[in-house]
Structure 1
Amino acid sequence: MSEAEAVIRNQSGYINHTAKKDYGPLEFTGRIAGGLRLDLRRRLPLYASDWTDAFKAENFQKSLSSILYLFIAALAPAITFGSRFLDGTNGQFGVLEMIMSTAVSGVIFSTFAGQPLSILGATGPFLAYTLVVYDMAVGADVEFMPFYFWVCMWCSLFTILVAVFDLCALMKHVTMFSEDIFAGLISLIFIIDGVRPIIENFSENKMSLTSAMFEALLFMYTFGLATYLSHFRRTPWLLRPIRNLMANFAVTISLVTASALAAIYSSDTNLRMLSVDADFSPNLVLSDGSKRPWVVNPMGIERSFPAWAIAYAILPAIGFAVLGYLDQNLTSVIVNRFVRGALTLPVCAVLGLPLSVASTVPSITHVISLTTYEVKQLPEGERKVPSKVVEQRATNFLIHVLIGCALFLAPALKFLPRAVLQGVFFYMGIASLTGNNLFDRLFLWLIWDPAKYPQYHYIQKLPIRRVHLYTLVQVVCLGILYGLKAIKETSVVFPFFMASLAIIRKAMRFLFTQEELELLDSLPAEEEDGKGLSPEQPDLVNLEKSKENDEGEPAKATMGV
């Protein structure tokens, strides 16, 4: 709770029952919807200023730059994820549906959510589990869209119950042990799903050798250029504003230039292009050749939907609810869960859209882009310390409105080669490895000389064998988690194993001492309070605090995801 909110509460006195204790977002209140009501009371007095603060003279320039930047940063992954949904669901929904889901969910979320800076979009685990739901529908011989409708509606109910009974408080048991494994799963999904279609071009004879080679070159070009440009601000080339601009829009530049390169040689190759209809109709084609209506009939589109399948949808709905609980709670608070359950999930169900959740990387990028830093002299040297964040709803709202307007770009999207989007997907996976403690410790296995180990805080205090043992446990858990996801027969349960990671972490007290766990399962104190990061050191989501910017403005994320 901010100081401004505390002043408002003290002056108004409208929360009398918290005079003895002010419950935080990760505490049980002991009342039905107690946490939800407290969050509403904290936020409602600030609702009007949430729409005006962005347009104040001292905030307008920063807000405008954030809108323009995050619009591109959120649109690129929406297109990329849409192509993956198109392939994985055999055309049930695709790019237009993903863009519409991002736009509609984001507008609703920014209007009603308790944390208005959260940017919505698809995530790797939700993509994977949506494909699991599709496989379940095919295996049960029922229509996917009605089945998906009921899965979303059940998930909506469970999500509302989570908010009503303060179950978000259980997140206090989730530590960095689970978070690093969860982030590792996301990275693996991006990396493996990104490169697999390129390899399959050669192994399954889907196309000629020339076309397969050209797609592989486009894939490598997109990934290589995005990686190089994301670090371009650190080079001595060109002027500083140009370097920052190219780094901020690395993904967009790579996507556009690779598509232009593909267009030059398109007549000589048989490239697979993105399938997008220019008539703004849903992607699914019915047996009579027409497109499905935008509003999904829950009782069946072309054939009646059996009643037993409505109950059958409860199982994957619980999985979706668990997955959403873990994913969303990393970047939101209790009231956001209620908004998502009561509004965004039913809308996606009715319209037949992929689900969008608060995506961690763009959400934190949004916060960074609205943050003003000041340089302070600390014992370890100069550091940039956050001094102000323009917390409001207008930027988030306008970002998603612009994403919705991008639907009018549909005729141009069909010129995007799929290999380019695979390159973006692969880049997202590689870039997201940076700052993941699990992979930082995993890379230590490749360093045979202990004298050359990075000076992480746990390296300085623990025997290296204990560090490697902790890493091995995480690697085994990550392998089991990915294996459960990858095998169709077990894929429906992988969210439940993900939730069990908190229990596994508690059981590790029998393998490690409390002191060892505190060192391995947390950031050092100086990083937690923001004093231990150098201006150029990336944090856990690959964001950079730019040392170069004379005006003290934060650099944007190096990836547009």
Structure 2
Amino acid sequence: MGHPSQVDYGAERELSWSQRSWQYELRPFRGMWSDLRRRLPFYKSDWLDACRSANWLTVSTSVVRIFFINLMPALAYVLDMYERTEHSYGVNEVILASALAAILFSVFSVQPLTFVGVTGLTDLMNYTIYRIFHDHYQFDQTMYLRIQAWVLIWAAGFHFLVAIFNVCDFTRFITEMTSDTFGLYVGVIYVEKGIEQLIQEFSLPGHDNSTGWLSVSIAILFCVTVYYLTQLGASTYLPFQLRRTVGSLAFVAGCVFWSGFSHFPKDSIKEVPISYLPITKSFFPTWDRGWVVDFWNVEVRWVFVAAPLGLMIMLLFYFDHNVSSVMAQARKFPITKPAGFHWDFFLLGITTLVSGILGLPVPNGLVPQAPDHTDSLSVYEQVPVADQQEKDGAGAPAVEPMHHTSVAASFLHISHFPRVRNVRVVEQRLSHLVIGLLTLGSMTRPILVALSMMPRAVFAGVFLLVGFASIESNPIVTRTLSLLQDRSALGPAAHTPLRRMTIVRFVGIQWLFFAMTIAISQTIAAIGFPIIIICMIPCRTFLVPKLFTPDKLATLDAPTADAPAVMVSLGPKDENET
């Protein structure tokens, strides 16, 4: 393979969890140094693996797919920030923030598969802070950006402390109970933002309801066509590699086609005026200011007011970024190169600091895009039906634990989704760097003009599509729906060994935390929603085991971080640890 063995992750090995003392756990720079030493022998192959002829198609397809999947949601969220912060953030800011994160993490991170960019939770934090200081203290955009700079300076400092003292190790206690709840919350927030974008189309000055209904039509048609094409990639239609390519590029094709659809000729759809993505001068901030925020021109009291807000952002990123990293290197992907959480969280602190100084929306790990990035770099092969039947025994379907299953929804009349095997992942940095450079190039005038021709309805469709995709396969939703099924009508493979009340109690806890998170997000206290998510971790560790027997809990839940390449950074498991 051209790189060190899959088994030997380097000379510096972590002690297993039971062997650790607090003195060892909190030893400054231990985790960062170990991460670097383990990954350094692989750095050369991280670049060369992308250049092999066998990987060219995989890498190039990944670049196109992830470039759009990263940029389009970021632009969709900047539309929301643009309106809610009175133009403090715009297209150029979100492009520069995305490019900064992609370039920095592709070159310097230990985990280049983890994709970092601007998320909806960044949007929520930004406009909530703006509401606090604008509505209650009458701060204008300039003062807001100064306060936001101090918030991110504090957040960067907390990032550095967490990385230096190895606190990322506690990511090992995050289980699917917590990460699924967080994933459902993110999906619902996406759908909510999509609906909000469409509602605004009905109230544009000088426009009537036809504008709103055309926008709704474009958004729904975008969702339906991209969803169908993506499902096609998992079906039995067309040859295997062709349908995989179609499914991978469905999002790209949808963005291009439905943007063009809104520009159909005169005496047709173009007669209905709809709104498009607002742009400004190339390589300049949206607001009339320099790139560097003069954060030193504030009263000292506001510097300390920003500290707890910075802590909230660090708590959010601690969960969001580390879970994104874990999902990008989950056990289902045959990852061979070691992970490193401490160094990457320190690097995230640097991007947070730079974002504050430049007045950018701060990037962090992307929950939907991170595993998509790894999936796009995966080489799959189809498992013949005969081989699967021989493996499962007399044609009986393989039974998996509940936390490994999901319900695939489709309206394509697909009765059979073929099994595929992930042969290998092209673990390299080049595609990530190319995406970062392409993103930076989007600030040039020709690309900005092209982006300005995209209707807001397409971005609303992006919200709805990503949100729905996250919700439909979420285990909380599928398990809740399973409670409504008539078990006597189900085949043996669909039966679970658990009683309904056991499932009700488990998902009930998840729905409770989800409801609390959604509720606080709709108030001025939305900045505190990361606390609820973080509180789920001790709840799962100390309270939930008292409500379920170990065997039932093992069926319902599993650690989010369990891949060997991941655990080598967080602390290898003991042989008797489940």
- The TM tier, using the shorter chain, reads 0.7 to 0.9
1:103, 1:404 within 8 Å by CA — same for their partners in 2? yes
* CA–CA distance in structure 1, aligned partners of residues 464 and 9 of structure 2: 47
Structure 1, unaligned runs of 5 or more = 285-290, 530-561
Task: Report the Cα distance in structure 2 between the residues aligned to 1:209 and 1:67, rounded to whole angstroms.
Answer: 39
Match of 1:536 in 2: none
Secondary structure, counterpart of 2:478 in structure 1: helix
Measure, in 2, the Cα distance between the counterparts of 1:19 and 1:243: 43
2:5 matched residue in structure 1: 4
Alignment check: 8 A CA contact 2:106 2:432 kept: yes
Partners of 1:317 and 1:140 in 2: how far apart? Answer: 19
- Which range moved further: 499-508 or 184-193? 499-508
Distance 2:285 2:223 in 1: 30
* 1:438-477 equivalence runs, <5 A: 438-447=476-485, 449-452=486-489, 460-477=496-513
Secondary structure, counterpart of 2:110 in structure 1:
coil
Distance change in 2, residues 1:425/1:21 (3 Å)? closer
Question: CA 1:69 to 1:201, structure 2 compared with 1: closer, same or farther past 3 Å?
Answer: closer
Counterpart for residue 329 of structure 2: none
Classify the secondary structure of the residue corresponding to 2:279: coil
Alpha carbons of 1:244 and 1:480: their partners in 2 closer, same or farther (altered >3 Å)?
same
What's the counterpart of residue 348 of structure 2? 340
Matches within 5 A, 1:125-524: 125-138=121-134, 139-142=136-139, 143-199=143-199, 201-202=201-202, 207-233=207-233, 243-264=243-264, 265=268, 268-284=271-287, 291-300=288-297, 305-332=298-325, 333-341=341-349, 343-373=350-380, 379-380=391-392, 384-408=420-444, 409-447=447-485, 449-452=486-489, 460-488=496-524, 490-505=525-540, 506-522=542-558
Higher relative contact order (CA 8 A, sep 6+): 2
Cα distance in 1 between the residues matched to 2:197 and 2:16: 55
Question: What CA distance in whole angstroms lies between the structure 2 residues aligned with 1:197 and 1:66?
Answer: 29
Q: Is the CA contact 2:262–2:270 (under 8 Å) kept in the aligned structure 1?
A: no
Task: Judge conservation of contact 2:222–2:258 (CA < 8 Å) in 1.
Answer: yes
Q: Secondary structure at the match of 1:41?
A: helix
CA distance in structure 1 between the aligned counterparts of 2:49 and 2:111, rounded to whole angstroms: 15
Q: Is the 8 A contact 1:26 1:171 kept in 2?
A: no
CA shift in 2, pair 1:454/1:344, >3 Å: farther
Note if contact 1:72-1:252 (Cα within 8 Å) is conserved in structure 2. Answer: yes
Cα drift, residue 473 of structure 1 = 1.9
Whichever residue aligns with residue 500 of structure 1, its letter is C
TM-score by length of 2: 0.80
Aligned in 2, Cα 1:68/1:254: closer, same or farther, shift over 3 Å? closer
Q: CA deviation at 1:249?
A: 2.2
Tell me, in whole angstroms, the C-alpha distance in 1 between the residues paired with 2:199 and 2:55: 48
Which amino acid in 1 is paired with 2:286?
N
**Are residues 510 and 153 of structure 1, via their aligned partners in 2, closer, same or farther at CA, if it must alter by over 3 Å?**
same
**How many Å apart are 1:114 and its aligned residue?**
0.8
Gaps of 5+ in 2: 326-340, 394-417, 565-578
Mapped partners of 1:35, 1:146: distance in 2:
33
User: How has the CA–CA distance of structure 1 residues 203 and 469 changed in structure 2, closer, same or farther, with 3 Å as cutoff?
Assistant: farther
Do the aligned partners of residues 205 and 519 (structure 1) sit closer, same or farther apart at CA in structure 2, a change above 3 Å counting? Answer: farther
Identity %: 25
- CA distance in structure 2 between the partners assigned to 1:222 and 1:84 by the alignment: 19
Partner residue in 2 for 1:115:
111
Q: Give the letter for the 2:342 counterpart.
A: I
Q: Note if contact 1:132-1:492 (Cα within 8 Å) is conserved in structure 2.
A: yes
Q: Provide the C-alpha distance between the structure 1 equivalents of 2:227 and 2:194, rounded to a whole number of angstroms.
A: 15
C-alpha deviation, 1:406, in angstroms: 2.0
Contact map agreement 2:191 2:468 (CA 8 A) in 1 = yes
**Any idea what SS the aligned residue of 1:473 has?**
helix
**Number of matched residues?**
506
User: Cα 1:207–1:483, aligned 2, differ >3 Å: closer, same or farther?
Assistant: farther
C-alpha distance in 1, partners of 2:441/2:558? 42
* Pairing of 1:526-545 with structure 2 (within 5 A): none
8 Å CA contact 1:348, 1:355 repeated in 2: yes
Aligned amino acid, residue 334 of structure 1 = H
Q: Which amino acid aligns with 2:391?
A: P
Which residue type is aligned with residue 179 of structure 1?
A: S
Instruction: State which of 48, 53, 65 in structure 1 corresponds to 2:61.
Output: 65
CA deviation after TM superposition for structure 1 residue 145, in Å: 0.7
Question: What SS does structure 2 have at the residue aligned with 1:372?
Answer: strand
Structure 1 CA distance for aligned equivalents of residues 15 and 537 of structure 2: 31
**Residues 55-111 of structure 1: CA deviation (Å, up to 9, x unaligned):** 134433432332233223322223222222222322111222111111111101111
| SS in structure 2 at match of 1:388 | strand
Contact 1:232 1:247 in 2 (8 A): yes
Q: Is the 8 A contact 2:248 2:376 kept in 1?
A: no
State the TM-score, normalized to the length of structure 1: 0.82
Q: For residue 233 of structure 2, give the secondary structure of its aligned residue in structure 1.
A: helix
Deviation at 1:251, TM superposition (A): 2.3
Instruction: Give the secondary structure class of the aligned counterpart of 1:360.
Output: coil
Kindly indicate whether the alpha-carbon contact (under 8 Å) linking 2:197 and 2:456 is maintained by their aligned counterparts in 1.
no
Give the 3 Å change call, closer, same or farther, for CA 513–22 of structure 1 in structure 2: closer
Cα distance change of structure 1 residues 141 and 4 upon mapping to structure 2, 3 Å threshold: farther
Query: Partners in 2 of 1:94 and 1:26 — Cα distance?
Result: 48
1:407 counterpart SS class? coil
The CA deviation string for residues 368-406 of structure 1, in whole angstroms up to 9 with x for no partner, is 233334657673279654443322222211121112112
Cα contact 1:78–1:122 (8 A) shared by 2: yes
1:321 maps to a residue whose letter is M
- C-alpha displacement of 1:9: 3.5
1:157: Cα distance to partner? Answer: 0.5
Q: Distance in 2 between matches of 1:383 and 1:515?
A: 28
Whether the 8 Å contact between 1:278 and 1:411 is mirrored in structure 2 is no
Q: In 2, are the aligned partners of 1:183 and 1:436 still within 8 Å (CA)? A: yes
Q: Structure 2 CA distance, aligned partners of 1:372 and 1:318? A: 40
Supply the AA of the counterpart residue of 1:370. Answer: L
Aligned partner of residue 227 in structure 1, secondary structure: helix
